[in-house]
Structure 1
Amino acid sequence: MAVKKELVLYYTPEKSDADRLLKGVLVRMGIRIRNIAPEQTSEKVGALAGLPGYEEQKEEGEAPVIPEKMLVLHGFGQQKLQELLGSLRKAKIPPIPMKAMVTEHNAGWTLYELYQEIRKEHEMMTGQKGE
């Protein structure tokens, strides 16, 4: 049986120098990276993560815009997650508040739906109001 490796779905609306640093940390840790393009925001999280039972589907019309970077993590245990977060801090990568784990519950959501949910949770936790 193949060993399941951790995967990070990385979405960014525009490239920056921090992207290279982030990807360097992930590569050094042996974590797979899948870059998610802006036109993929209407695809299911489970399909983007390559989970069985979720096929990638092209939605009709324009994909909704996600205006900020997002990390969606799959296959992480608690120890590897803490190691990743610590490594990102140590590398001085600017914080990416929009982070989530792929769960049974959110795998059927589109990336945009997941973004809306974690944006709402982030605003509740920090007391910020949406734009």
Structure 2
Amino acid sequence: MSDSDDITTERLMERLSVYARGISMALSSLPIPIELPHGDGVSLIKDFMPAVIRAYEIVDEQPIPEEQQAVACTALLHWVAAAELVIAFAVSTAQHRADGALLNMMCGEPLLADLIEWLVDPEGGEHPQD
């Protein structure tokens, strides 16, 4: 792998990590909190990704409106797809994989921000705890 590829992988992993922190915040703020692995020894790929996939599978059981369930599922799926493409890029260095990872993050991050805004805005939407 060239220095340029190493830098690309590092930048993608940094952005993926920031996105992961947002996911952790959002899921822990749900009416039925979903806690994801966190801490210094947690690997985004080996530990965090399987937990996000599991959250994706069960988030539709949350007592929140269907629209917010769909937003959550989509934001999680974009993160998983981005993570898989980062791994694929690190192995193959095919530029389309790095581009695809970035595209997935660019699509998923605003959805995650919308979900977080909905979860923390007491005036926005109908919350089950209201």
* Structure with the higher fraction of residues in strand conformation: 1
* Structure with the higher fraction of residues in helix conformation: 2
Q: Say which one has the larger Rg.
A: 2
Whether TM exceeds 0.5 here: the answer is: no
Q: What is the TM-score with the length of structure 1 in the denominator?
A: 0.29
